[in-house]
Amino acid sequence: MSGDNQQERLLTPDYLAGFIDGEGCFSVTVHPNPGAKWGWLIDPDFTINQHRQSRELLERIQRFLGCGKIYEKSPGKSNVLTLVVYGRRTIFEKIIPFLDSHPVLSSKRHDYAKFRDVVERMMNKEHHTLEGFQHIVRIAFSMNAQGKQRKYKLEEVLASSSETARRASRVQGETKIQSDLGSDAKSHAEMT
């Protein structure tokens, strides 16, 4: 029996959980975005990589999970395909319930627990406060070998997001002062 045929017949929830344990990756990218509230975006994603010969298996996993897109990892340069699940709502509704019911067993379970924590915190909109945003960033940077492969350093993200918050606070203060001046002028006009 070939490996592909064996994988075809054995695509059960427990088999898929074991497959994810070996081939899956839970990651949370943090990248600059001037339009974001704190100057950075937090993007959780779940991926499975396979040689292009296993495209059919990735398609079956995609159908089984009911989500994800398949891409070439490095178009024109690699024989690797990636099944990617983006979007915290999709991850929250599809990936987390599956893995809570069929947990990974290797040391990857620690990264999954952090990944799950990040997604849940984002679903609760904790990233909308500076404190919540920075807490989520710290969790993300503690994943996958303490973030050694990251383009940006934790300190850079924390310092930059704090500066963005300070600037926003100053702008809000200036707006408040201007609006207070306007209401003072209106009150003065009403008294005369």
The predicted-structure confidence for 157-191, as pLDDT tens digits, reads as follows 999 887 776 666 555 554 443 334 444 444 433 43
Residue 95 DSSP symbol? I
Q: Alpha helix locations (H) across 66-153?
A: 88-90, 96-101, 108-123, 130-141, 143-146
pTM of the predicted model as reported, rounded to 2 decimal places = 0.80
pLDDT of residue 13: 96
pLDDT of residue 78: 87
pLDDT of residue 31: 94
Q: How confident is the model at residue 25 (pLDDT cuts 50, 70, 90)?
A: very high
Residue 7 has pLDDT above 80, yes or no: no
pLDDT of residue 69: 98
Which tokens sit at 69? 């897109």
In angstroms, the CA 77 to CA 74 distance is: 5
CATH for 33: 3.10.28.10
pLDDT (mean) for 83-107: 97
Domain carrying residue 42: 3-191
Contact 56, 179 (CB under 8 A): no
pLDDT of residue 148: 60
pLDDT of residue 1: 41
The predicted-structure confidence for 57-82, as pLDDT tens digits, reads as follows 999 999 999 999 999 988 888 899 99
In angstroms, the CA 88 to CA 83 distance is: 16
Tally of domains within the chain: 1
pLDDT of residue 166: 66
pLDDT of residue 192: 36
pLDDT of residue 144: 83
Residue 107 has pLDDT above 80, yes or no: yes
Neighbours of 181 (CB within 10 A): 10
The predicted-structure confidence for 113-165, as pLDDT tens digits, reads as follows 999 999 999 999 999 999 999 999 999 999 987 656 778 899 999 998 877 76
Q: Which residues pair with 40 in a beta bridge?
A: 32
Which tokens sit at 10? 């054995």
